[in-house]
């Protein structure tokens, strides 16, 4: 599972909550690109959309 490090204050928007782009619930958190998203939603999205290597 992807684990993002969002300890930086850059991931918190003090101006208020906006709907998460994934689950639509309110969040003060922002992605690296500034989009409102919960950390757990972003981690799950990465896991779902990252190609997996096949075991050979």
Q: Give the tens place of pLDDT for each residue, 22-52.
A: 999 999 999 999 999 999 999 999 999 988 7
pLDDT at 55: 56
Contacts of 38 (CB under 8 A, 6+ apart): 20, 22, 23, 25, 27, 29
Structure tokens at 51: 């190609």
With cut-offs at 50, 70 and 90, classify the pLDDT of residue 54.
low
Sign of CA dihedral 43, 47, 48, 49: positive
Query: Shortest CA distance to 26 belongs to which of 41, 15, 37?
Result: 37
CA distance 6 to 41: 13
Q: Is the pLDDT of residue 56 over 90?
A: no
pTM for the predicted model, two decimal places: 0.84
């Amino acid at each position: 599972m992807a684990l993002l490090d969002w300890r930086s204050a850059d991931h918190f928007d003090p101006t208020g909550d906006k709907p998460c782009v994934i689950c639509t619930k309110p969040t003060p958190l922002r992605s690296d690109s500034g989009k409102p998203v919960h950390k757990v939603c972003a981690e799950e999205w990465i896991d779902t959309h990252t190609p997996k290597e096949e075991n050979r």
